[in-house]
Structure 1
């Protein structure tokens, strides 16, 4: 994506762009008063300042604002968002500043291409970009840094005229491709894990992507549908005999979820784990219980699942 002969540093500097608070408000839909409160009261974003004291926000700041907004839309209080963002950032591989700017710029360019294809409802164009992204990056980067951010943007704006059609188009496209990849990944695999949603929570694509990210060359993941009753999972696992059952949700946990999970774990013949952003919220609550927390970041979930199956992950 960088021009021939251009150094990574110069490419990063060209891509670096700073936005005033009004432009960030326009891009994200969050008013300036709220942006200032997130900075002063909670320390969620840290814009740079001009000599005259005006705030300037980077592309990374804009993405952070969108992440904060997505958490709040799911019902997480602002006071808890900082902890979740910190865990998410800590789970990512540290990069040098220049390289981080380079790859962030590349991901931004890919997201723009995805947006353009979706805006035109151009399935062949989207298929082409989709294939190019997969040929350039590992699967966790493709979804976490390119595809799902665009999906999330459209989800938050689907009530706007025209955006609803774009979101349905993109959601249907991704669900079909992820299902295909899950089916191919299961071929010939011996070790099997069942992934099930917590009832009434989440969207199908998030669940399917989690299944894709949890799987590996050693572990095949079978994904149960969104309507799967929690109380019948002991029956399902008794029939399928998986190596483990993983529950998934990206929503704030119910007050009694810890008790429900502990009770479920006692009735299973296989170990139980929790994945998704709910696992980040419940990590401390589940310490010392039979339920393991796998986290929500793709590489971390996969690594913890392998440790869990090998008996090396503390619960």
Structure 2
């Protein structure tokens, strides 16, 4: 998305947005998972967002607006009525603005300290210590932060750094621990209802923990989540969906999409009686090539993929 300046037609000349990157409402819907109708309602009915308008009346949203949309989503997810979110933001946003004065390095330093504690437990192959640290992290941060900002980055570093003796064993120890704990959480949050979501790897293009964490992020959607094993043949997904009759099939891939991926996914989508979704790094990279198709791209960030899945299942968000 290019930076919009005075050279762009139809963009306001206000100094505050002169060199700021602005996004149309459809792009904001893609980035946040909130459909345009809802965004307009939040603006008109509740005054929660105040986007910039072009001379022709089209809405343009800044990154600050998008961050506010994500904050609104967060409060709604916690059970706060949308009509009350404005009052909460009025109290919390000044504090957040003050916190911006403190360098972001402090937050990263907090994450790094937790990672060091996890690393120490892994180095000692001490599952009891690792369990204690794991529990403390969960008591301090929400689910998405625990995995996206603390555990998965460390897990990835250990995966890529296996040249020295013992490092492969350390990664296997952490990987096994995290997979077992995520499976436990999936069992605890499972809600057996007729509407079901199937999550599986696309052609082994991710590891089992990637699939399990994705399933955990999506488990707050009001549906049962069923995870297929790594190695699931792509050509047999139609058969599985015919027998399980899910509401959606979510494929996980962290590989760069090949040129033939859109064709393969569209062919699969035509054979299914449920919605087909793509999640992970490939979802962002394939977004443009899949635009207008029946394949939905959920992105690779926990909160966004969860919201977008809700919107797709409700039929309120275009693919």
TM-score (normalizing by structure 2): 0.67
CA deviations 1:26-48 (Å, max 9, x no partner) are xxxxxxxxxxxxxxxxxxxxxxx
State the partner residue of 2:149. Answer: 145
User: How many residues align structurally?
Assistant: 227
State the partner residue of 1:31. Answer: none
Q: 2:225 aligns with which of 210, 221, 226?
A: 221
State the secondary structure of the residue aligned to 2:291. Answer: coil
CA contact (8 A) 1:195 1:211 kept: yes
State the secondary structure of the residue aligned to 2:236. Answer: helix
The whole-number CA distance in structure 1 between the counterparts of 2:134 and 2:222 is 25
* Matching of residue 264 in structure 1 with residue 268 in structure 2: yes
Give, in angstroms, the shift of residue 254 of structure 1. Answer: 2.0
1:200 and 1:248, CA in 2 relative to 1: closer, same or farther beyond 3 A? same
State the partner residue of 2:297. Answer: 293
State the partner residue of 2:119. Answer: 115
Unmatched segments (≥5 aa) in structure 1:
1-86
Give, in angstroms, the shift of residue 99 of structure 1. Answer: 7.4
State the secondary structure of the residue aligned to 1:218. Answer: coil
CA contact (8 A) 1:91 1:297 kept: no
State the partner residue of 2:197. Answer: 193
Give the 5 Å matches for 1:1-315: 96=97, 97=100, 98=102, 100-216=104-220, 218-315=222-319
The whole-number CA distance in structure 2 between the counterparts of 1:188 and 1:100 is 41
CA deviations 1:231-267 (Å, max 9, x no partner) are 1111101111111111110011122110000000001
CA deviations 1:255-302 (Å, max 9, x no partner) are 211000000000100111100000011000000001010000111111
The whole-number CA distance in structure 2 between the counterparts of 1:213 and 1:189 is 18
1:189 and 1:133, CA in 2 relative to 1: closer, same or farther beyond 3 A? farther
Give, in angstroms, the shift of residue 188 of structure 1. Answer: 3.9
Unmatched segments (≥5 aa) in structure 2:
1-62, 72-95
TM-score (normalizing by structure 1): 0.68
State the partner residue of 1:24. Answer: none
State the secondary structure of the residue aligned to 1:255. Answer: coil
State the partner residue of 1:28. Answer: none
CA contact (8 A) 1:261 1:291 kept: yes
The whole-number CA distance in structure 2 between the counterparts of 1:168 and 1:179 is 16
State the secondary structure of the residue aligned to 1:195. Answer: strand
1:228 and 1:273, CA in 2 relative to 1: closer, same or farther beyond 3 A? same
Give, in angstroms, the shift of residue 190 of structure 1. Answer: 4.6
The whole-number CA distance in structure 2 between the counterparts of 1:247 and 1:170 is 24
Name the stretch that deviates more: 182-191 or 119-128. Answer: 182-191
